[in-house]
Amino acid sequence: MKVKIMTLGCKVNQYESEAMKELFIQKNYEITEDDYADFYIVNTCTVTQMSDRKSRSFIRKSKKTNPNSVVAVVGCYPQVSKDKVTEIEEADVILGTQDRKQIVEIMEESYKSKKRIISVKEYSKDSEFENLSLRDNEGRTRAYIKIQEGCNMFCTYCIIPYARGPVRSRDFDSIIKEAIDLRNNGYKEVVLTGIHASSYGIDKKEKYRLIDIIEEVGKIEGIERIRLSSLEPRIITEEFLNRLIKVDKFCESFHLSLQSGSSEILKKMNRKYDYDLYKEKIELIRKYYENPGITTDIIVGFPGESEENFLESKKAIEEIEFTKVHLFKYSRRRGTPAAEFENQIDPKIKNERLKVLEEVSKKAQNKIYSKQIGRLEEVLVEKFEDGKNYGYSKNYSHVKIISNENLEGKIVSVIIEDTINDTLITSKII
């Protein structure tokens, strides 16, 4: 029997899809990339209206390809919009962001009984971390480890706390065990990821925090690099960085979501910092690390964003010189406070603002990339193609190494010679 899994959205979703794949493989199912399958799983995202639309289209397309298949819809979309998803006739199995550990059994049951199964559970403060562990990731060099689930921050624009429930941290020992399993399967780099990784441990009696995981994974022989997914700016303190800098394997790339350069808008977003505090945190990182990669997310067109507020975001990009800015247009999500805010911004203005920020971030990025010319960088090569090796430096810059030797899976020291767009280029291997 063939299973096809389609994944939308974030790294956590990708991780969970990989974990579901493993569950099917253990039961001798074949995972396929082809259009035709017996079981389809659409692992949805609901962060924007566009993601909902994409999920609906995947669901319908799957059933059309094989009318006798079982189509399962799982993840954030059914969790927050169960009724809407239930209206889609083609969906045979509907699960939220829980119970995915039983996905194989549930789909088999629906297949045998030809009946629809709907199981979307409400979250409560007693909800537990669903341990969907992974021993193998899709790529050959970098593996993700999910360390927590859920978020208690309730930013006014964000649907995630409703889709993923409250913070639930995975057991410390289970995280370390997964890191060892991944190392045993040949992975050199791990990325500690979660919905709000900075909150790791706040729901547990044991005193382990994110930094304790980083230190412990850092001791595992064979794991050579550790990365982090998005961080909450307030986690960056002298104490945190003092411990982090001692973990040689930590790769100095930090993703700190700013969302807006305007403190007024940040307050309306219910972010727990203002722009000055954010800037201080970046300065602190740069005090500890000489050449860190600093990436961020910015939303344009949040309700009430004036021209002046928008220009503050533009200024922030120029001032901070991010390695990369992920730009988003504000998307009104029913059920979130901001969806009801007055002064929703005209889509035309959102588009114009987005364009301006795209230009500004590109310039900032080019500036920061050209500063890396002449630097010695260690690159973990992920792909070899036509005499070129591609990988990432410790600060997560994309690097192209021109060499006929296949260096895939190796960590190579190079001197950066040039930069084109968002790639560093070199043929100088040390």
- HEC assignment per residue over the chain: CEEEEEECCCHHHHHHHHHHHHHHHHCCCEECCCCCCCEEEEEECCCCHHHHHHHHHHHHHHHHHCCCCEEEEEEHHHHHCHHHHHCCCCCCEEECCCCHHHHHHHHHHHHHHCCCEEECCCCCCCCCCCCCCCCCCCCCCEEEEEEEECCCCCCCCCCHHHHHCCCEECCHHHHHHHHHHHHHCCCCEEEEEECCHHHCCCCCCCCCCHHHHHHHHHCCCCCCEEEECCECHHHCCHHHHHHHCCCCCECCEEEECCECCCHHHHHHCCCCCCHHHHHHHHHHHHHHCCCCEEEEEEEECCCCCCHHHHHHHHHHHHHHCCCEEEEEECCCCCCCHHHHCCCCCCHHHHHHHHHHHHHHHHHHHHHHHHCCCCCEEEEEEEEEECCEEEEECCCCCEEEEECCCCCCCCEEEEECCEEECCEEEECEEC
In angstroms, what is the minimal distance from the CB of 430 to ligand SF4? Answer: 40
Instruction: Give the pair of three-digit tokens for residue 284.
Output: 């602190």
Give the residue with the Cβ less far from ligand SF4, 195 or 416.
195
Name which of 391, 421, 400, 191 is nearest 324 in CA terms: 421
Q: Which is nearer to ligand SF4, 96 or 161 (CB)?
A: 161
Q: Which is nearer to ligand SF4, 43 or 141 (CB)?
A: 43
Contact at 8 Å (CB) between 330 and 355? no
Report the nearest approach of ligand SF4 to the CB of residue 154 (Å): 6
Handedness of CA 152, 153, 156, 157 (dihedral sign): negative
Shortest distance in whole angstroms from residue 110 CB to ligand SF4 = 31
**Which stretches of the chain bind ligand SF4, using CB under 6 A?**
151, 153-155, 158, 160-161, 195-196
Residue placing its CB nearer to ligand SF4 in the complex, 170 or 196 = 196
Taking the complex as a whole, the smallest distance from the CB of residue 158 to ligand SF4 amounts, in Å, to: 3
Taking the complex as a whole, the smallest distance from the CB of residue 101 to ligand SF4 amounts, in Å, to 23
Least Å distance, CB 153 to ligand SF4, is 4
Nearest distance, CB of residue 339 and ligand SF4, angstroms? 14
Q: Report in angstroms how near the CB of residue 42 gets to ligand SF4 at its nearest.
A: 21
Q: How far is the CB of 151 from ligand SF4 (least distance, A)?
A: 3
Residue with tokens 């990182």: 285
The residue (of 97 and 393) whose beta carbon lies closer to ligand SF4 is: 97
Residue 8 or residue 424: which is nearer to ligand SF4 going by CB?
Answer: 8
CA nearest to 364, candidates 273, 258, 244: 258
- Output 118 or 153, the one with its CB closest to ligand SF4: 153
Sheet holding 293-300, edge to edge: 253-255, 293-300, 324-329
As measured in angstroms, the least distance from the Cβ of 278 to ligand SF4 is 14
CB of 273 to ligand SF4, least distance (A): 11
| 151 versus 190: smaller Cβ distance to ligand SF4 | 151
Q: Among residues 332 and 388, whose Cβ is nearest to ligand SF4?
A: 332
Specify whether the CB–CB gap between 101 and 130 falls below 8 A. yes
Query: Smaller CB distance to ligand SF4: residue 313 or 397?
Result: 313
Of 119 and 270, the one with the shorter C-beta distance to ligand SF4 is 270
